[in-house]
Amino acid sequence: MELLTTRLEQDLKKLREISRALTPEEITSSRVQQLIANLVQFAQNYSSPDGHYKCAGLSAVQVGFPLRIYVVRDRKTEVFTPYINPGLTPLGDATNSHVESCLSIPNVSGIVERYTRVRLSYLDPTGQRQMLKEVVGFTARVLQHEQDHLDGILFTDRMSKPK
């Protein structure tokens, strides 16, 4: 499994693709189950070349599979949870601004404004509909970052311009 980065023109093109949703049959297929396991493992084992950053979230498109799947680390347990065909809804208008970076965009970080509270509806790896009723703070930010990947949006598109 290889990470796509914006350094390469052909990778950038793939990172800009809109990922497609999975059918229930696909989700339970051994091919997709293996992909999910590989995503979790890749994310779990990742550390940046300088050793400073661990992975907080990873979308399938970042390793070359334009499918609506991402994995996000739980801050307490450190375990990565897979979210399939996720739908994200902001709760309220409150936003906050914080520094972000991305495995696929080496050596870049910047301030991005995100919703403070979100709700996530998704399918788990067995194909069951699940809901995170209210997610706040850092994890809410990671979910919004990964959700953007599914639509070909990179955090640098949302980065506030230096004043």
Interface ranges with Zn ion (CB under 5 A): 102
The DSSP 8-state label assigned to residue 74 in this structure reads: -
75-82 CB contacts, 8 Å cutoff, 24+ apart? 75/138, 75/139, 80/39, 80/40, 80/43, 80/44, 82/36, 82/39, 82/40, 82/124, 82/125
Q: Which is nearer to Zn ion, 10 or 30 (CB)?
A: 10
Q: Which is nearer to Zn ion, 93 or 157 (CB)?
A: 157
Residue nearest Zn ion by beta-carbon distance: 102
CB of 131 to Zn ion, least distance (A): 24
CB of 9 to Zn ion, least distance (A): 18
Residues with catalytic roles: 146
CB of 137 to Zn ion, least distance (A): 18
